[in-house]
Structure 1
């Protein structure tokens, strides 16, 4: 991580909005088709011309998802995303166009590999490596089990949030992200002051139909995979995102895509857990299921968490 000057921002990107008032998220959330409709200005160069998800800083999940989209537009037909690994280098700003520069690393018979740099105003924000696999038959099993209430049986966030502060928090989320949500247990952005286990769960569903392109559904999952994840490390410490004097940003992010039939416009569940925290960092994981209980993805993320005076360093 490189920092220059007293006002330098640490490496990393904004992630789940937490304690920001709804009025900072103006208008309606961008539609997913618009987010992933990248302008191709060269065979391996793309530019995001639509709106950015974010307040002052670009949401890291958007950069990851758009980089995956750019990479996927350069692979042969019939290949599906099977993994991505991203490192956040600098904070992106909103508004501001982001360019995605794709390097073709490998085109194999069954696997294709791409490397992507996300650049804003000449500054590299993110480096991402993505792997694509041509589907083939193979062994099948999973050990993870989905054991939560169906989304239809849960109250909407507007119905379940207990106070005005919580409802304001969710209005900010809804204004930025084009997803329906149902929380299992306490929502990750409002619980604070008491300690709790480092885990929470959220059902997600895109509000609009996404069509048949499997890349669009994979990018939708990549976008959501960064939402609320780092917040899972905070409950044991009685903290929440947006706690005064706390800095929390994503450092690196990985997604493994398991199920090629996944759809982001049907309900899917993210079981998020803060596995470890120490030395200013935290490691969080997420297992993602479709509503039938099929494990569709596994996510891991390391984040920087600073509390108190060191948060300004």
Structure 2
């Protein structure tokens, strides 16, 4: 495993880490604590030292499982969680310093911790980024020793650029993959200039970039890939990166031709993300331990050739750019 610096935090984190949206069970299925602990332990065994969770993942059960495992390990493992998505309706007016402080304190209770390594605003509405009092609240939490660092998880590149104007923002979490190239053009240079760590989520476009899906693939009715394709529940960019499913399948077939051989497309898709030195870590999820091992294969792959990098760009430009580039 290779390690990279996570911006202003100074943390040296595994370049492939673990996201826990679906840990312990597939999307739409009940949370299974034993399965979650097995997955988290497998990741740490393989050198992962950064785990991303959120208070809304399985109503705090994901946070609790992460912390339970980490506290039993001798390795230093950094825990990142998120707050704000509990606000319903999810509007700017619902965001107040008092509510956010309360959510942070609840996360500390969920995890039975005194301090959170990284707390992130969880994709708040754009207007929230114009309110200094929201960001100042986290300075007080840091002074009290309840958090070590503040980050933001964003939907839009514009939101990331707004957030980085606050000096206490140490990290930005953003969707970036072969289907979503805009961040590398507009966000990455500014993050580098401001020493802001970049955490890449949804690197496999909700499974599309595994190369294992087809027109016959079906999803559980409680799976966001079934009910959120048009943004019915939250930003549609979180589901297949906002790409039309059938169009995405066409693009995947083109990508497969760029990477013939034994390794699955998923590993190459993760390796592609790591070709960008501004990226601190990528956080693919897993619902089974073998998926952790599969994700980590990417770290051992050789660098992509210039022809492969150009090929990915060409597929994006041909199939996806007109539909997604300006949306996020």
Shorter chain as denominator, the TM-score bin is: under 0.3
TM-score (norm 2): 0.27
Higher strand share: 1
TM-score (norm 1): 0.28
